[in-house]
Each structure stands twice: as C-alpha cells, then as structure tokens.
C-alpha cells in the first residue's frame, strides 16, 4: 500500500486529522521509501546538480586549475551556435517522424497480436525480436548493409551511391533503424492498452452496425487513450535522446548529429566540460518540457499514479 492511499482513506473516518495508526503507517511508508530516495538522490540528483554546477564554469578537463565562473556564458555560446540549432532540428525531426511512424505501425502490430488466435506466441515472439537485439549490434548490421561493397542493401542502389554519407538519406536511414528497433516496444505498450478495452463494448458497437473503422475511431482508441499517451511519452523521451544509432551509423557527420551526439563530442573530444554540461542541461530541460507537455496538456498519467475517474 502506498502512503497516498493510506492518507486518502483517512479523512472519512477521522475528520480531525490522521489517527495514530494511520500516522504510524505513514511513517513506516516514508521509512520504507527512504533507501530508494537516497539511491535516487545519489545516482540522479547529484549528477544533474553537478552538471548544472559545471555548466556555469569555463572548465577544460586538461586545465582544471584554470576553471572559473562564467555565469550563463556557456548557455549563451550554445544557444547562439548554429550547431546546436542544427542538431536540435535534426533531433526533433527524427523524434517526430519516428514516433509517428512507430505509433501507426505499433498500433497495427498490437491489433494483429491481440486478435491472433493461432500461433499467438510465435507472432508475439517474431514481433519482439528486433527489440531484443542490442541496439549497437543492430545499428552495426544496418551500417554494413548500407555500406557500398559490403552491404546487400547498398547493392540494390545505383552504382556509386553511399546513402550514409549524405545528410537526408542518412537521416532517413537513422529513422528507419530507430523505427525497426523500437516499434515492438510501442506495440507492447499498446497491446496492454488494448487489453483494457472491454470486449462487450466492442461487440455492442458491432451489434449497432459500426464498421471496423468506426469501432477503432470511436470505441477502441478513446478507451486506449491513457495507454497511447504513456507509450507516446516514453518513446518521445527515448527518441529525443537518440545516441547509439547515430553514433554507429554516421558518427554524427554530414549534418546528422543529434543533441546527444553534440554533447558527447563537446565533452569527450573537445574536453570542454563547461559547454558540454550546458548542452546536457539543455537536453535535460527539453526532455522535462516534453514530459510536462504530455502530462499537463494531454493528461498523460504518470506511471503508477491513480487512474483518472471515469
């Protein structure tokens, strides 16, 4: 039982305040949470706080003694740099396109998995295989497949074309790799949502003469909305932080760098901890903004929260 349900149950019985038993239960709940909170603070809050601290300094890893405060200058440098805006544009493009395609494909796969009667296990396993493959391994196989001379897919293209070396084809292939890899995840989340749709409701709509399109649009999707929003939220956050696919496929060259690649290059190659941390913090803010928009505007329920009143 979580502390919130415990305290919510209380007011009905004792309007003057929580009873002694409830207070003790609440204290026990907090106590039980404490280790998790401490671990979260140590592994999440501390690095984030330290990144913010570093982002306010001119700090080169090679010359730690020359570090000094520069206020918001690093943010100014990042936000006034065309590289940041280019990377942000690429990231947003990859996020929007890949998540949209994944939603459509994922929904189709979820419907297939939901309705399959024969070989249900086989179908689900087959759909899940791409998700089970390590991203870097999958990315390498895509990279080899699209490299002229070694790849079977590159061999299908006209002689002399090397799609991974040009900006738009490369971004397209990154999106393809991303969609191939994470559509099963989307399908799984949507399948869970489909299970929430009561069969009787759908059958009732059928009896009323609703076509498949009408049933999907007017019955199934509205009932699935919470699951769809959670799936979209998860995938958007993941897609926005895309790193491994790009790192393997193009290394971020030819205008295919995402914001994460940009941050990595500035931290690890340029050893510029100040600028790199500023980029990281900005990525963090973008991700927080995405989550906020989903939760506040679309009403996506945070995982584990109370279900909405119907």
Partner 1 sequence: MPRVPSLRSRWASALAGLAVLAPALTGCGSSGQSGAVTLDWYNFPDDSGALQQAADRCGQQSGGRYTIRYNKLPRGADGQRQQLVRRMAAHDTGVDILGLDVTWPAEFAEAGWIREWTGAMRDRGTADTLDAAVRTATWHGRLYAVPYNSNTQLLWYRDDLVPTPPKTWAEMIAMADDLARAGKPHYVEIQGAQYEGLTVWFNTLVTSAGGSILTPDAQAPSLGAPAVAAATVMHDLATSAAADPSLPNQMEDQNRLAMESGTAAFELNYPFVYPSMKANRPELFPHFRWAPYPAVTPDRPATVTIGGIDLAVGAYSRHADLAFEATLCLRDRDNQLTNALKGGLPPSLRSLYQAAELTRDYPFAADVLAALDTASIRPQTPAYQNVSIAVSHTLSPPADIRPEKDVADLHGQIQDALGSKGLIP
| Residues engaged in binding partner 1 (CB under 8 A) | 40, 43-44, 47-48, 50-51, 54, 58, 60-64, 77-78, 81, 83-84, 148-149, 159-162, 164-165, 234, 237, 241, 253-254, 257, 260, 262-272, 275-277, 279-281, 283-284, 287-288, 291, 302-303
Tell me the closest approach of the beta carbon of residue 153 to partner 1, in angstroms. Answer: 15
Q: Under DSSP, is residue 255 helix (H, G, I), strand (E, B) or coil?
A: coil
User: What is the CA angle 117-122-128, rounded to 5?
Assistant: 115
Residue placing its CB nearer to partner 1 in the complex, 15 or 66: 66
Tell me the closest approach of the beta carbon of residue 188 to partner 1, in angstroms. Answer: 16
User: Is the torsion defined by CA of 228, 230, 173, 123 positive or negative?
Assistant: negative
Tell me the closest approach of the beta carbon of residue 115 to partner 1, in angstroms. Answer: 30
Tell me the closest approach of the beta carbon of residue 191 to partner 1, in angstroms. Answer: 20
Question: Would you tell me the crossing angle of helices 221-240 and 167-196 to the nearest 10 degrees?
Answer: 140
Q: Is 123 within 8 Å of 112 (Cβ atoms)?
A: yes
Write out the two tokens for 127.
């759909």
Residue placing its CB nearer to partner 1 in the complex, 121 or 158: 158
Residue 233 makes CB contacts below 8 A (sequence gap 6+) with: 290, 291, 294, 295, 300
d(CA 212, CA 228): 19
Write out the two tokens for 40.
């979260």
Residue placing its CB nearer to partner 1 in the complex, 174 or 257: 257
Residue placing its CB nearer to partner 1 in the complex, 176 or 287: 287
Residue 100 makes CB contacts below 8 A (sequence gap 6+) with: none
Tell me the closest approach of the beta carbon of residue 265 to partner 1, in angstroms. Answer: 6
Tell me the closest approach of the beta carbon of residue 229 to partner 1, in angstroms. Answer: 14
Residue placing its CB nearer to partner 1 in the complex, 85 or 212: 85
Residue written as token pair 């309705």: 115
Residue placing its CB nearer to partner 1 in the complex, 63 or 212: 63
Residue placing its CB nearer to partner 1 in the complex, 109 or 135: 135
d(CA 256, CA 250): 7
Tell me the closest approach of the beta carbon of residue 254 to partner 1, in angstroms. Answer: 7
Residue 202 makes CB contacts below 8 A (sequence gap 6+) with: 215, 219, 220
d(CA 256, CA 268): 18
């Amino acid at each position: 039982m979580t502390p919130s349900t415990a305290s919510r149950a209380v007011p009905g019985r004792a309007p003057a305040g929580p009873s002694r038993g409830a207070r003790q239960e609440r204290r026990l709940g907090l106590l039980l949470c404490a280790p998790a909170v401490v671990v979260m603070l140590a592994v999440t809050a501390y690095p984030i706080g330290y990144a913010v601290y570093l982002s306010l300094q001119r700090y080169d890893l090679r010359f730690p003694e020359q570090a000094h405060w520069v206020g918001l200058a690093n943010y100014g440098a990042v936000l006034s740099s065309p590289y940041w805006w280019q990377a942000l544009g690429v990231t947003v493009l990859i996020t929007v396109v890949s998540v949209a395609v994944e939603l459509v494909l994922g929904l189709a796969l979820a419907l297939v998995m939901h309705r399959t009667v024969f070989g249900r296990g086989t179908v689900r396993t087959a759909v899940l295989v791409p998700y089970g493959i390590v991203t870097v391994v999958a990315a390498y196989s895509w990279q080899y497949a699209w490299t002229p001379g070694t790849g079977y897919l590159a061999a299908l293209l006209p002689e002399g074309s090397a799609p991974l070396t040009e900006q738009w084809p490369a971004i397209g292939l990154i999106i393809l790799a991303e969609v191939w890899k994470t559509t099963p995840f989307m399908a799984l989340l949507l399948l869970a949502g489909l299970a929430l749709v009561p069969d009787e409701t759908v059958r009732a709509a059928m009896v009323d003469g609703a076509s498949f399109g009408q049933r999907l649009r007017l019955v199934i999707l509205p009932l699935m909305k919470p699951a769809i929003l959670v799936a979209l939220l998860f995938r958007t956050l993941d897609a926005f932080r895309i790193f491994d696919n790009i790192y393997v496929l193009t290394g971020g060259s030819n205008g295919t760098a995402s914001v994460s690649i940009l941050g990595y290059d500035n931290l690890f190659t340029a050893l510029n901890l100040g600028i790199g941390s500023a980029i990281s913090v900005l990525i963090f803010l973008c991700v927080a903004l995405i989550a906020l928009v989903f939760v506040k505007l679309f009403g996506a329920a945070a995982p584990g929260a109370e279900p909405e009143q119907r």
